[in-house]
Amino acid sequence: MAVLWLLLLVGLPTFLLGLLVWCVVHHFVTAEIPSALKNPVKLRFLHCLVLYLIALGNTLEKLRICSMPKFVRFIHDLMRIRKDPTLVVTNLHFGTIPVRLFQPKAASSNLQRDFCHSLCSCLARETDSVVLSVGYRMLPDYHHPVFLRDCLNASIHFLKDLQTYGVDPSRVVACGESIGGWAVAVVTQALVSIPNLPQIQAQVLICPIVHFINFQLPSYQQKKNIPLLTRDIVLLCMYKYLAIDPSWEDAILKGTCVPPENWTKYRKWLSSDNIPKMFQSQDPQSEFPGPFNEAAYLETNHVWNEEISPLLADDKTIAQLPKAFLVSCEYDVLRDDVLLYKKRLEDQGVPVSWYHVEDGFHGCVMLFGQKLFSFPCSLKAVSAVVSYIKGI
């Protein structure tokens, strides 16, 4: 027994150190850090940390100790939440869905707004708004469509009871970043068909994902190895959340799982032809050149559902959506998702404001206010969102 303990005490630190070294080497071999990005050392450190947590989580999953998503959630829950003395924060439940309500302490002469976002306290303070954050159910216990249904149900519950929280029904804003932006796109589309509810006045989508189909867009080629969200991480999240086997990755990346008739129908919305020339690759690749793989399509065809790929919603639904504020980052694998959705909205007459963060990368908004790990681009993006909301 003493020998086993000795092996554990020696072997575990050695393994953890070796895994860390592998992650660092992997980062420096694969990651691309554009010269325009400020504070590259901080970004490298954060990306190495992300790679390390994913690798450690995958190891624990293979050992059947716990799943990778559960491990990442455990680490996330260890982080301390800083209290803001200017806000009243209340934990509530809308049925079974946990939500957190942020309200300014000081009375305001202006009526309040709802604004859903991870930077709730900052936005509640800076915009003098009521902010609702939805505690949706997550991986590994819950897959699609639980996350989106939780966001939709919480939104409906809140919209039915705005007066209770001092929210002006004429100034409701829905906002999300990354996967939250995906939820906002889906929820605002779903609310169009639900009568007798206060209307969302504006949707704010920060670096959202709006489809899981065309991975040959310029940003997926140009930015695939730029931290913090690489193309590999996007695919990993897709496999986990949508329950797709990773063995279909080659077909997904090459587009051979896309039926020719679907491409003919939806090319007008999905093609890189819709991306402004300034963002186009100098050596563009042909889209979906390979032969159609029907088996891959049968395993991945749920991505064609508009609840998963809101970019594919019909014209009638899109035309009824509220005005939008879209934020994109130049060094983001999802940059072109924003550009495609921007054109989709504009083509149906939806007023769109767009802010492009020239030195931004995916996840920079999450880092706003994190002191040592905040970036200049974080402030730019958040300031643009705050300014837009104040103007509503």
Q: Which residues are catalytic?
A: 178, 332, 362
Quick one: pLDDT at residue 7?
A: 61
> Does the pLDDT at position 379 exceed 80?
yes
If you average pLDDT over each of 271-275, 335-339, 374-378, which comes out highest? 335-339
> Does the pLDDT at position 226 exceed 90?
yes
Name the band, by pLDDT with cuts 50, 70 and 90, for residue 115. Answer: very low
* CATH assignment of 87-392, among 1.20.910.10, 1.10.486.10, 3.40.50.1820, 3.40.50.11780: 3.40.50.1820
335-353 average pLDDT score: 98
Quick one: pLDDT at residue 306?
A: 95
Which residues are registered as beta bridge partners of 95?
A: none
Tell which wins on pLDDT, 353 or 37: 353
Q: How far is the C-alpha of 197 from the C-alpha of 276, rounded, in Å?
A: 37
In the chain, where the domains are located? 16-77, 87-392
pTM of the model: 0.91
Q: How far is the C-alpha of 133 from the C-alpha of 120, rounded, in Å?
A: 7
Quick one: pLDDT at residue 5?
A: 61
Q: 101 in the Ramachandran plot: left (φ > 0), alpha (ψ -120 to 50) or beta?
A: beta
